[in-house]
Amino acid sequence: MTREAYFVLSLARGDVSAARKLLKRPLDVEAVCKLADRHQVGALCWWISRNGLGGESAAGGMDLPAPLERGFRESYLHHLLRNESLVRDLAEVEGALSARGITGLFAKGPWLMLRAYPDSGVRPVGDIDLVIREPDYRGAVEALRTIGYSPLTRLPEGSREALRCAHYGGQLRFLARGRRPLELHFRLINVGPPAPHEEWVWTSARELPVGTATLQVPGPEAMALHLLLHANQHGFAVLRLLHDIRWMLTRDRAALDLAGIVSRVDEHCLRTSAFHGLLLARDLAGATIPQVLLSRLTPALLRGPLFRLAWRTGAVRRLEAPQRQMEMESPRFYLLEMGSLREKIGYLAGLVREAGGPLGFIRRVQKLISRRQVRVSST
Amino acid sequence: MTKMPKLRDDLIVREVDKDYVVYDPVSDITALLNLTAAMVLTQCDGATTVEEIRASIEERFGLEEGAVANDIERILEEFHREDFVS
């Protein structure tokens, strides 16, 4: 690992003494800024340098070289104000849905930003991820239109087609001038074929007051599963996704039903992925993982090494894992890690069908491979 | 240039630990302002004239009349270019 990568890792996870030691020899400041930006932890690094870990540790902050301080500070200010603007958007989206009697579930971003991280400016939130029930599809689309959102691509007519599209085709994405982009989902666990229903996610949801509105957000176990899945969906290539897990665990430690998480993980055949997600969050982001959780999620003998090979966790640990298209990573994740053989075959058939047949599917894969590496949207 | 410039309603302007910051949700850009620019921007309410803005800044810094006229004009041109004010 480069010294610059080690510096970003150390500072973001609050290991101020390690970061201080690294500063005793000159660092490539530009490389540090680029790395922090690529891993979406610049604002967090600034906050830690200013405050240390607050209540979690006695360690205070540290002085940064001026160009680094400036770069991190600007990132913090940007996300602080952008998130304030997001709060306005969230309240309007919730208001538009409520006016039509629709309950939406707002995925990880708002709760992480306002409740889990120590300051709303340190957690970048790029998009609004909104989960709705299928019968509310048309109503939700109309509600979004009333506040200026338009779909990015042609929308499927009915809710069944929309559900299929969201899981086998592409995301249902909406844009509005001056607002954060919005993605419509029908399942919080949006990897692979859609589960027949996801009532447990709705019944365990909690309330989050945001500006003038009160949002429904995932409960502790649903949030944990959602974040673990999300980190793997992006190939663990963005450090911020591991910090999401870390701060979720910090905030929800007392509320988490560990047996409940293990049961949900097993239900989705996610043991190896969840185990490694937690290990990476512990080692790279400084998360405190209950030992009982790791023990109960320990994968079978061969699954661990195969997982580490498939997801190149060595490169992840050096902050060198490439960021790839989520449209590629998500199916790869399902096909490698989730579901039974029969379910995998069914899912693959669904992908081919949604692409218009085998040729369309091949063209789609080629198109995705040929695209350049992308930034992970900070939802 | 508009005689009574007005700040766009959707912009977020804040003072954060002595930094004056403006966020434009349309361009998704955040800009750091110096004190003079921040004073100009926060007075762009659509009712205050450019002359009144200039006078208030000169009074605040104890400057003679017209001392910051060029600066104010330049700042407002920049705000127009960035579409911060109309």
Predicted confidence band of residue A247 (pLDDT cuts 50, 70, 90): very high
The DSSP result for A82-113, as a single string, is: HHHHHHHHHHHHHHHHHHTT---EE-HHHHII
Q: Which of A47, A76, A80, A81 should we substitute to test contact with B (largest number of B Cβ atoms within 10 Å)?
A: A81
Q: What is the pLDDT of residue A371?
A: 65
Mean pLDDT computed over A178-196: 92
Q: Which of B28, B33, B41 to mutate to test the interface with A (most CBs of A within 10 A)?
A: B28
Q: Which residues of A touch B22 (CB under 8 A)?
A: 81
Whether chain B has a CB inside 8 Å of the CB on A84: the answer is yes
Greater pLDDT, A324 or A111: A111
pTM of the model: 0.89
Which region holds residue A210: left if phi is over 0, alpha if psi is between -120 and 50, else beta?
beta
pLDDT of A59:
55
* Pairwise pLDDT comparison (A378 vs B4), residue with the higher score: B4
State yes or no: pLDDT of B71 exceeds 70: yes
Q: Is the pLDDT of residue A332 over 60?
A: yes
Residues of B in Cβ contact (< 8 Å) with A85: 10, 12, 23, 25
Q: Is A147 within 8 Å of chain B by CB?
A: no
Q: How many Å apart are CA A319 and CA A15, to the nearest integer?
A: 17
User: Average pLDDT for residues A302-318, to the nearest whole number?
Assistant: 92
The span from the CA of A209 to the CA of A205, in Å, is: 13
